[in-house]
Structure 1
């Protein structure tokens, strides 16, 4: 077995989920990630944990969703019970075909996500982590060989997370003391939002592996302006490009997309919270240096900002603030490498992807 897989498993178990003897652990990994599942199980065995494996296969999910009547969807109580008994949850992404569910109706996908929201909420109460195993389908999306993609994945994952956390802490300090964030990029993105009373988190690969971002939640009704997400995203097995949103009073009032706008429209109709922003994230992982059509990596790129429609994470919302709730959490990315800036309370903190505390920052 590739020793990098064993190191990946060790980081998952020791750093991300902090597994202890007696922990009940849910492991979701598709067959193509069998090597990582084996390595994780070995680490869990060394620590006296109790794992339970779930398949996570996209072909089976597609077959079910295409055969089922959305009106028959109900909360699977047996799965909810398993999640509620878990101390930790490890979810591995790996695909032979990332478009496997591309022919499932968008309305079916959103109905399925909505009815399963209690399961998503219960998972958030565990010590959870989402990670990636390098698989052929993901390598193909990234336009890399499987070997080159594996090098890319492990470069981003198997790193010194304590050092990364210290680097990101500089941006955390800026946001924690701030009231308003202004994002500007090109001629289409000019967006403001308040973050006072919200909590800023330092993602050092506790829940996302790789980590490498600083994130918070905006005050729900404070988002104003326009944004063009000029980097593509994959949603419900489809590529959506050039998503454009206009906000008034925190809500999306106009939207468009150059490709698969119907998927975007269906997402926005999921529930009331789907039209609001639940997360502002600032990418800071410099080991991720190219776009790969994988949001787990792409949103961490150092020259990007991402916003998520829908659910806000509870640990980013202050005690006296409203948490935006939704069955969805869909991240979308703005390239900040050129003709772009981030201001906090009128002070420039990033220009063209370079932070004020990094070498090469230009104030003008």
Structure 2
């Protein structure tokens, strides 16, 4: 499909954009060209389409300018297509609370528009994502095992969040492309070690494993490819807090080095560090960095949810 056709399909199928609605696109210079394609698609649908180009943020989780946050609240639907993620920001959270239907596309490329996760059957993605979200909702404790390493933490009292790729009702939001169920682990409960072999935000696709050591909910040591860069991005304070546990549910997604697609890959899970205030946690760190790894074993309350990346009760990977 041509880029223009893909943009119209996204706006109709994922956001149910209608003629006469106020549609806001927030972008930066890095993603301006792709944002302009969405702008033209919004106009073609007949929406009152607005495009705001802001200064590029320095890291994922950094807030946009106040004027952008205020305009987001007034929109019927919005797309945030930026180099660094605005997903875990107060601005996104407040817009959704005000009823904006919203999709975030951090770091998306033209290749990702035309291939991979965006081409998925989103009815299938939605069904699997909601099933896994239910398991997280009911769960109390998670155990992840990979390569002889183990990481455990509590999710008791926390709510799972589905990112289905379909945001057609007031106040729904998530990534595009999408396909993950995620949750905020209880602060201070995560301990153990885990091998990351997929990708890391700010580092990219890994050629060798990165070993992370967590104690009392905090990253205390990183060894291997990208370790120095990861610690630099997180800083020395709240940025090193375990913030998120997520499971990918999109069979069309690929490991590309871009976490927007990588964390959606079926058979992967991810742990993020930094902020989680926007999805049920208590940490506001001004940074949110995801670490993706492949083919783990996952147990929730002792029950096997995933074995070597294959989810219980699901068909084999394609």
Q: TM-score range with shorter-chain normalisation? A: 0.7 to 0.9
Deviation string, structure 1 residues 155-179 (Cα, Å, up to 9, x no partner): 4213331222113333223222211
**Aligned counterparts of 1:231 and 1:176: Cα–Cα separation in 2:** 26
Q: Tell me what 1:128 maps to.
A: 102
SS of residue paired to 2:224: coil
Q: Which runs of 5+ in 1 are unaligned?
A: 66-73, 95-108, 136-148
1:303 matched residue in structure 2: 267
SS at match of 2:188: helix
The whole-number CA distance in structure 1 between the counterparts of 2:185 and 2:69 is: 30
> Residue 341 of structure 1: CA displacement?
1.0
- Among 152, 160, 166, the residue aligned to 1:192: 152
Q: 1:197 Cα deviation (Å)?
A: 1.2
CA distance in 1, matches of 2:96, 2:9: 20
Q: Please say which of residues 275-284 and 116-125 is displaced more in the overlay.
A: 116-125
Alignment pair present for 1:279 and 2:279: no
Task: Name the CA distance, whole Å, in 2 between partners of 1:86 and 1:281.
Answer: 29
Question: Displacement of 1:232 after TM fit?
Answer: 3.4
| CA drift at 1:238 | 10
Choose 1 or 2 for highest CA Rg: 1
Q: What residue number does 2:139 align with?
A: 178
Structure-2 residue corresponding to 1:102: none
SS of aligned partner of 1:296: helix
Q: Residues 22, 75 of structure 1: CA spacing in aligned structure 2 closer, same or farther, 3 A cutoff?
A: closer
Label 1:306 to 1:260 Cα distance change in 2 as closer, same or farther (>3 A): closer
- Structure 1 residues 133, 298: CA separation in 2 closer, same or farther (over 3 Å shift)? closer
CA–CA distance in structure 2, aligned partners of residues 282 and 353 of structure 1: 10
The whole-number CA distance in structure 1 between the counterparts of 2:202 and 2:226 is: 10
Pair 1:270–1:237, CA change in 2 (3 A): farther
Supply the RMSD in Å over aligned alpha carbons.
Answer: 3.6
The aligned counterpart of 2:11 is 13
Q: Distance in 2 between matches of 1:19 and 1:84?
A: 16
CA contact (8 A) 1:27 1:91 kept: yes
- Alignment partner, residue 284 of structure 2: 325
Partner of 1:213: 180
Q: How far off its partner does 1:93 sit?
A: 5.4
Query: Take 1:271 and 1:242, find their aligned partners in 2: how far apart are those partners?
Result: 24
Is contact 2:198–2:293 with CA below 8 Å preserved after alignment? yes
Question: Could you tell me which of 262, 267, 291 is aligned with 2:255?
Answer: 291
Cα deviation, residue 9, structure 1: 1.5
Output aligned runs, 1:239-258, within 5 Å: 242-252=209-219, 254-258=220-224
* Kept after mapping to 1: 8 A contact 2:182/2:247: yes
Decide which structure has greater helix share.
1
Query: Aligned pairs, how many?
Result: 300
CA contact (8 A) 2:306 2:312 kept: yes
2:115 corresponds in structure 1 to 154
Structure 2: distance between partners of 1:237 and 1:359: 29
- 8 Å CA contact 1:175–1:200 kept in 2: the answer is yes
Asked if residue 345 in structure 1 is aligned to residue 312 in structure 2, the reply is no
Residue equivalent to 2:25: 26
Return the alpha-carbon distance in structure 2 between the equivalents of residues 260 and 35 of structure 1: 29
Q: TM-score, normalised by structure 1?
A: 0.69
Give the distance between the partners of 1:298 and 1:36, measured in 2 at CA: 21
Q: Quote the residue 2:171 is aligned against.
A: none
- The CA deviation at 1:215 is 1.1
Instruction: Give the whole-Å Cα distance in 2 for the aligned partners of 1:25 and 1:279.
Output: 28
Q: 1:176-214 deviations in whole A, cap 9, x for unaligned?
A: 221111000012x30111112111122211421111111
The unaligned stretches of length 5 or more in structure 2 are 167-173
Q: Give matches, 1:161-172, under 5 Å.
A: 161-172=122-133
Judge which range, 340-349 or 83-92, deviates more. Answer: 83-92
